[in-house]
């Protein structure tokens, strides 16, 4: 058996998330359907770096699976893309040691969240950015981002429906926001993320940008560890799993 690592991208608009769900179209089900055809009816299970929700996109998601098929790396990419729908694309395929795990071997993940900060919505981007028609103070949001960087307990920024057992301490290497024209992009790089964490962070930072909270309030939220005190969960369509990093 050989272990294959694949880097994939997908448009999450028409998927009910990544993970297999009965009678629903998911990214995992499409990938496993393609693998089943390649393996002539044999079920092959894939393992992702993490699961994304309905409507969330991925630029560079990583998966792995084990196979007895002897195809080379280039042929794997070609075979998978020939069988996958247009909203999923395999960018890279590579043979890796059996010790590699898409989730547990990852040392860093990067998520980005896109805001369309215009008065009028753009119907062509409604699935790819969160339209937010209110004035935002970039300086205040950048100050708030600074308080998020480092090692913290992010309970206040985790969904109440989270199934995480144990520590909710995570390290953010970068929390920043950038503006280019009417687009605002939040960037978060860290060693791991909790359920809905990025979307709750964005919802809270937007309140800072509107003047509803002071940047320093972020420190208080981290200390209180109370989800009810933080902001709303931003919608999924602006969120992108940007990249996953592994040891060299």
Q: Do 217 and 145 form a contact (C-beta atoms < 8 A)?
A: no
Within 10 angstroms of residue 23's Cβ, the number of other Cβ atoms is: 5
Q: Do 156 and 224 form a contact (C-beta atoms < 8 A)?
A: yes
Query: What residue ranges in the chain does DSSP mark as E strands?
Result: 2-10, 47-48, 57-67, 88-96, 108-116, 130-131, 150-153, 169-180, 183-190, 239-245
- Is position 111 annotated in a ligand binding site? yes
| Catalytic-labelled residue, pool 53, 137, 183, 191 | 53
Q: How far is it, in rounded angstroms, from Cα 146 to Cα 175? A: 7
Specify the 3-state DSSP secondary structure of 199.
helix
122 tagged catalytic: no
Rg (CA), the chain: 19
Residues marked as binding?
Answer: 111
Just list the catalytic residues: 53
Residues marked as binding for substrate?
Answer: 111
């Amino acid at each position: 058996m050989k272990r294959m690592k694949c880097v994939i991208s997908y448009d999450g608009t028409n998927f009910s998330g990544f993970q297999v769900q009965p009678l629903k179209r998911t990214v995992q089900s499409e990938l496993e359907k393609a693998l089943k055809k390649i393996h002539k009816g044999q079920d092959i299970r894939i393992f992702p770096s993490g699961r994304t929700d309905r409507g969330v996109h991925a630029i560079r998601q990583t998966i792995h699976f084990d196979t007895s098929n002897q195809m080379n790396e280039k042929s794997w990419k070609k075979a998978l893309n020939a069988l996958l729908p247009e909203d999923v694309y395999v960018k890279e395929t590579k043979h890796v040691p059996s010790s590699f795990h898409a989730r547990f071997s990852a040392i860093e993940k990067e998520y980005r969240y896109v805001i369309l900060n215009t008065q009028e919505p753009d119907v062509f981007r409604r699935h790819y950015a969160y339209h937010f028609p209110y004035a935002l103070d970039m300086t205040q949001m950048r100050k708030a981002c600074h308080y998020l960087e480092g090692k913290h307990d992010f309970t206040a920024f985790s969904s109440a429906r989270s199934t995480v057992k144990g520590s909710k301490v995570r390290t953010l290497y970068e929390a920043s926001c950038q503006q280019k024209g009417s687009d605002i992009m939040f960037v978060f790089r860290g060693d791991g993320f909790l359920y809905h964490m990025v979307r709750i962070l964005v919802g809270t930072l937007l309140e800072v940008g509107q003047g509803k909270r002071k940047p320093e309030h972020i420190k208080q939220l981290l200390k209180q560890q109370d989800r009810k005190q933080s902001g709303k969960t931003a919608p999924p369509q602006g969120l992108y799993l940007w990249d996953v990093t592994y040891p060299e």
